[in-house]
């Protein structure tokens, strides 16, 4: 059953009318003196102009454009929850670290505001008394239990570390991101909405890849100036915005786009590629083939230029699973791609870097192995509930490791890690059991396959990176849980379509 009540907030007009009636604006609103209305309009226009002028002087045109665009998006979001989704996805892909250029006690990021808007648009009808048919899935309980365990570990960890505003804010952001699971499964309940959201995700990720590729090939001075222009929105500035292997300018440059860290961009493009590849074989893809094929190419190139070995490994794993289980035409294409990378002269340095990682010879890999060793020491000392999110109680250990599974075990213990793996296990078991049924739904199957392949690719990359459960990378946590929720919603749609067909027979 579709939730038509949540499609838009059509009752905002009476709410605004009640607001006006309850404030001094009522006197102006109902006044028969036209000169009063004109004077009020002039005063408001002058105040708005003065405020806009101040922002231009203090922040610059980029900041003003960002704020005006954000306000326009916020007003549009109030009319349609899908627009709120677009805002969240677009910010995650294109401006993940952007923040307001001023403080309101803290400096909210664009993603914070977009998430609050999304939650508000979803909850407002419920708060206004509209009846809704809430969806239930087998993952509801495990996700809630995982959230409770995270809160428990957070509180327990305060016994040996100070509670700071930074910690409160970023932990709350992680909880908001995990909570998106319930929002998504309750609002994405038809195939067309799922198609539109996947389309937006692919376009946003493709845009990020294109920006990354262009900046990579631009002259360094120009790329530095362009990226430094985002400094007004909280981004880093200066020569450090360009990233290299081991931060050594003598080695290969790495694409970052607007994601600051090349591994963060790689994690985004890993998920996006997994979602896009099945669309190449769809009878009705979410984008026309004339756009889809170049988009896949740009994302693949962007992923390669990040030189993110973890994201690449996750993507290759996801592609192999898709190729073996469903899309056999991918196998020769993958073989050709691998041969080209191995044989082309200008990719030899790239190949050598990956081989060094496999052998554990380069400094980055050695440091990562050191992190694994230190993480295991911490986990052995605090195996059940971990040490929380604030810090380690021991001076010789620390929180932080480039593996999502060890990071969860550090912070939430083996119990928390088991909770996370239980969620993933349920999702993948449902995926495995419904492979045959999904093939009977040619419009839904490519979406369903792509979302689950994205999770598999993300889980594979999680062996080498920690972004999908890091307090410092809120946007990566957000997009991971959105994809988990969309995959769950897609499986619910598979069940609903098959039940509908059975009932019709």
Encode the chain (505 residues) as per-residue pLDDT tens digits: 344 444 444 444 454 454 444 444 444 445 555 555 555 555 655 665 565 565 555 555 656 665 666 566 565 566 678 888 999 999 999 999 998 877 666 788 899 988 988 898 888 777 776 767 788 999 999 999 999 999 999 999 998 888 888 899 999 999 999 999 999 999 999 999 999 999 999 999 999 999 999 999 999 999 999 999 998 888 999 988 999 988 888 888 999 999 999 999 999 999 999 999 999 999 999 999 999 999 999 999 999 999 888 899 899 999 999 999 999 989 988 888 888 888 877 777 777 877 777 777 777 778 888 889 999 999 999 998 899 998 899 888 889 898 999 999 999 999 999 999 999 999 999 999 998 889 889 889 999 999 999 999 999 999 988 888 988 899 999 999 999 999 999 999 998 877 776 666 5
Does 385 share its domain with 465? yes
Which of 127, 157, 175 is at the close of a domain? 127
Residue 50's pLDDT is 61
For the entire predicted model, the pTM comes to 0.84
Among 457, 460, 458, which Cα is nearest to 468's?
458
Does 103 share its domain with 193? no
19 in a structural domain = no
Does 118 share its domain with 213? no
Which positions ≥6 away from 85 have C-beta within 8 Å? 118, 197, 200
Does 82 share its domain with 192? no
Which of 98, 127, 156 is at the close of a domain? 127
350 in a structural domain = yes
Does 216 share its domain with 157? yes
28 in a structural domain = no
Identify whether the C-beta of residue 80 lies closer than 8 Å to the C-beta of residue 7.
yes
Does 342 share its domain with 381? yes
What is the bridge-based pairing of β-strands 253-254 and 243-244? antiparallel
Does 152 share its domain with 186? yes
Does 122 share its domain with 146? no
Q: In total, how many domains does the chain have?
A: 2
110 in a structural domain = yes
Residue 65's pLDDT is 65
Which of 105, 127, 149 is at the close of a domain? 127
Structural domain for 90, as ranges: 4-12+34-127
Does 371 share its domain with 485? yes
Does 149 share its domain with 202? yes
| Tokens found for residue 241 | 């915005």
Identify whether the C-beta of residue 404 lies closer than 8 Å to the C-beta of residue 465.
yes
Q: Is 122 exposed, middle or buried (0-12, 13-18, 19+ CB in 10 A)?
A: buried
Task: Tell me phi and psi for residue 316, to 5 degrees.
Answer: -65, -40
183 in a structural domain = yes
Residue 21's pLDDT is 46
Does 98 share its domain with 153? no
Beta strands in 144-266 (DSSP E): 243-244, 253-254
Residue 48's pLDDT is 57
Residue 167, number of CB atoms within 10 A of its CB:
19
Q: Which residues pair with 254 in a beta bridge?
A: 243
Does 64 share its domain with 195? no
Q: Distance between CA 449 and CA 427 in Å, rounded?
A: 12
248 in a structural domain = yes
């Amino acid at each position: 059953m579709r939730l038509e009540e949540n499609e838009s907030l059509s009752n905002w007009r009476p709410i605004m009318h009640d607001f006006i009636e309850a404030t001094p604006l009522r006197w102006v609103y109902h006044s028969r003196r036209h000169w009063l209305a004109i004077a009020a309009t002039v005063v408001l226009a002058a105040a708005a102009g003065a405020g806009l002028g101040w922002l231009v002087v203090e922040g610059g045109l980029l900041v003003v454009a960002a704020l005006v665009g954000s306000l326009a998006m916020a007003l549009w979001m109030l009319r349609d929850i899908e627009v709120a989704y677009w805002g969240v996805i677009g910010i995650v892909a294109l401006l993940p670290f952007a923040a307001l250029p001023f403080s309101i006690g803290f400096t909210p990021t664009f993603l914070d505001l977009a998430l609050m808007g999304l939650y508000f648009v979803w909850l407002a009808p419920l708060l206004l008394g509209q009846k809704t048919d809430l969806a239930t899935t087998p993952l509801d309980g495990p996700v809630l239990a995982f959230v409770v365990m995270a809160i428990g570990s957070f509180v327990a960890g305060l016994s040996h570390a100070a509670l700071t505003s930074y910690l409160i804010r970023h932990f709350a952001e992680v909880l908001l991101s995990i909570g998106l699971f319930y929002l998504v499964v309750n609002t994405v309940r038809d195939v067309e909405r799922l198609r539109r959201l996947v389309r937006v995700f692919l376009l946003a990720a493709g845009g990020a890849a294109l920006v990354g590729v262009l900046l990579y090939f631009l002259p360094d001075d120009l790329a530095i100036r362009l990226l430094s222009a985002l400094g007004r929105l909280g981004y880093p500035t200066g020569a450090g915005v360009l990233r290299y292997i081991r931060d050594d300018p003598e080695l290969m440059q790495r694409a970052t786009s607007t994601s600051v860290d090349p591994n963060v961009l790689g994690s985004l493009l890993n998920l996006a590629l997994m979602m896009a590849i099945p669309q190449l074989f769809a009878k009705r893809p979410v984008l026309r083939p004339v756009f889809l094929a170049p988009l896949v190419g740009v994302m693949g190139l962007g992923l390669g230029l990040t030189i993110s070995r973890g994201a690449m490994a996750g993507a290759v794993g996801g592609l192999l699973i898709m190729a073996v289980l469903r899309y056999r035409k991918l196998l020769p294409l993958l073989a050709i791609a691998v041969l080209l990378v191995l044989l082309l002269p200008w990719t030899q340095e790239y190949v050598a870097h990956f081989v060094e990682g496999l052998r554990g010879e380069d400094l980055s890999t050695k440091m990562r192995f050191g992190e694994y060793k230190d993480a295991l020491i911490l986990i052995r000392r605090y195996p059940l509930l971990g040490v929380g999110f604030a810090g380690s109680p021991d001076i010789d250990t620390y929180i932080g490791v480039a593996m999502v599974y060890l990071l969860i075990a550090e912070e939430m213990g083996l119990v928390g890690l088991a909770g996370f793996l239980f969620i993933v296990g349920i999702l993948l078991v449902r995926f495995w059991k419904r492979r045959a049924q999904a093939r009977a739904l040619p419009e839904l199957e490519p979406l369903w396959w792509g979302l689950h392949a994205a999770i598999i690719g993300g889980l594979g990359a999680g062996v080498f990176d920690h972004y999908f459960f890091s307090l410092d990378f809120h946007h990566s946590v957000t997009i991971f849980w959105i994809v988990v929720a969309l995959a769950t919603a897609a499986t619910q749609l598979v069940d609903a379509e098959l039940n509908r067909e059975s009932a019709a027979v």
